[in-house]
Amino acid sequence: MEGGAAALLVPPRVRRGWFVACRSADLRARPIVTRLWGLPITLFRTEGGVGALVDRCPHRNVPLSDGTVVDGTLQCPYHGWRFRPDGACTHVPGLSGAPGKAHGASAYPVREQQGFVWIWGDPEVAPEGEPFRFRLADDPTYTTVRRTVRAEGSMHMVAENALDVPHTAFVHAGLFRNDKPERTPITCVVEREADRVVCEYVGEARPEGLVGRLLSPSGGTVTHFDRFYLPSVVEVEYRIGTENHILVDAVLTPEDDYRTVLHAVVSVRTRVPGWLLKPVVLPFALWIFRQDALLLAKQTATMQAFGEQRYASTEIDLLGPHILKLMQRAAAGRLTERQTPWRKETTLLV
């Protein structure tokens, strides 16, 4: 493939933002490797906290993830240089003096909260703000299910797919909505700000598919929001009637340009008790995800075969183009520019 065409395949690589590096439970005594936009990063746990270093020893380029944790540092397996979680080199075996600044490894700022290890995606720039908080994950009145999955698609494709309503009548036919000759108009209010885009669906009936009937057998008024927050959070929120509330958050980590990890946290409160709901929510969520993952992989393969990403959108592609715009701005480091808030109402037939 020629260079020009390959460049058209590069999605916006947003780095300035907090990304989930791994689940807390997956990081134990041994260092592990994660990737962000193709770059390997090693994570290791010490008594003083979690370290996230570029997975390359500054001495001779051996992966630090092959090393061991010793006295609060990560020790390289080749000549035994030791690095603190902040990247400083503390020890060079055999050297009579102390190692200097130039011997340190590049370190990512780290936070650990709500069962996830987060890293700030640009080690050269100081973090702005704190990682996203899952707002209902610690609420005991909700049943919360977590799952981590991977999709062969860019971060933008995965985010658009997660918040796209029109495909549900086809890819997930019978689960939420169906393709039918008589459709009902609803109003979609899209609002975009500097770091987010939100769509409220007004006048929506309870989805007639299996999932809707399961969550709310008696129906009721529906409140439905789809939200995207930079750098990579997608959120779907449904309230059906007074008793049913479902909040789906997926935080996306771009391992590579076309390989994205989804850390999903689903919180549900319904009349159905949690112990009964839990075994149902997970298989359903995975079933829906598998249907989407199949489509995303085909999209990726097709774009790669044609050597470009090309989209013809209509106004009912409500969020995808906005998400792309936000990601492009963030990738170009133009987030702090003033933004005029954007708002539009669109009719969608469901």
**Which parts of this chain interact with Fe ion (CB under 5 A)?**
292
Least Å distance, CB 59 to ligand FES, is 3
d(Cα 272, Cα 57) in Å, to the nearest integer?
53
x-or-dash pattern for ligand FES, window 68-97, by CB under 6 A?
--------x-xx-x----------------
What lies within 8 Å, CB to CB, of 113 at 6+ separation is 131, 133
d(Cα 41, Cα 51) in Å, to the nearest integer?
10
Least Å distance, CB 123 to ligand FES, is 18
Q: How many helices (H) and strands (E) does the chain have?
A: 6, 18
Q: Of ligand FES, Fe ion, none, which one sits near residue 292, judging by CB under 5 to 8 A according to partner kind?
A: Fe ion
What lies within 8 Å, CB to CB, of 243 at 6+ separation is 216, 269, 270, 271
Cβ proximity to ligand FES: between 92 and 211 the closer is 92
Least Å distance, CB 167 to Fe ion, is 6
Least Å distance, CB 148 to Fe ion, is 18
- Does 334 contact ligand FES by CB under 6 A? no
Burial of 217 (0-12, 13-18, 19+ CB in 10 A): middle
Least Å distance, CB 79 to ligand FES, is 3
- Token couple for 208: 């007639």
d(Cα 88, Cα 105) in Å, to the nearest integer?
6
Size of the site for ligand FES (CB under 6 A): 8
Q: Of ligand FES, Fe ion, none, which one sits near residue 205, judging by CB under 5 to 8 A according to partner kind?
A: none
Q: What SS3 state is found at 292?
A: helix
d(Cα 50, Cα 228) in Å, to the nearest integer?
28
Q: Of Fe ion, ligand FES, none, which one sits near residue 284, judging by CB under 5 to 8 A according to partner kind?
A: none
d(Cα 300, Cα 151) in Å, to the nearest integer?
10
Neighbours of 342 (CB within 10 A): 12
Q: Of ligand FES, Fe ion, none, which one sits near residue 60, judging by CB under 5 to 8 A according to partner kind?
A: ligand FES
Least Å distance, CB 193 to ligand FES, is 45
Least Å distance, CB 80 to ligand FES, is 6
Helices (H), the chain: 3-7, 155-162, 168-171, 210-215, 274-306, 320-331
- Does 100 contact ligand FES by CB under 6 A? no
Q: Mark the segment that binds ligand FES (CB under 6 A) among 17-25, 56-64, 197-205, 216-224.
A: 56-64
Q: Mark the segment that binds ligand FES (CB under 6 A) among 57-65, 178-186, 200-208, 242-250.
A: 57-65
- Does 57 contact ligand FES by CB under 6 A? yes
d(Cα 331, Cα 155) in Å, to the nearest integer?
12
d(Cα 239, Cα 245) in Å, to the nearest integer?
4
Q: Of ligand FES, Fe ion, none, which one sits near residue 196, judging by CB under 5 to 8 A according to partner kind?
A: none
> Which residues lie near ligand FES (CB under 6 A)?
57, 59-60, 62, 76, 78-79, 81
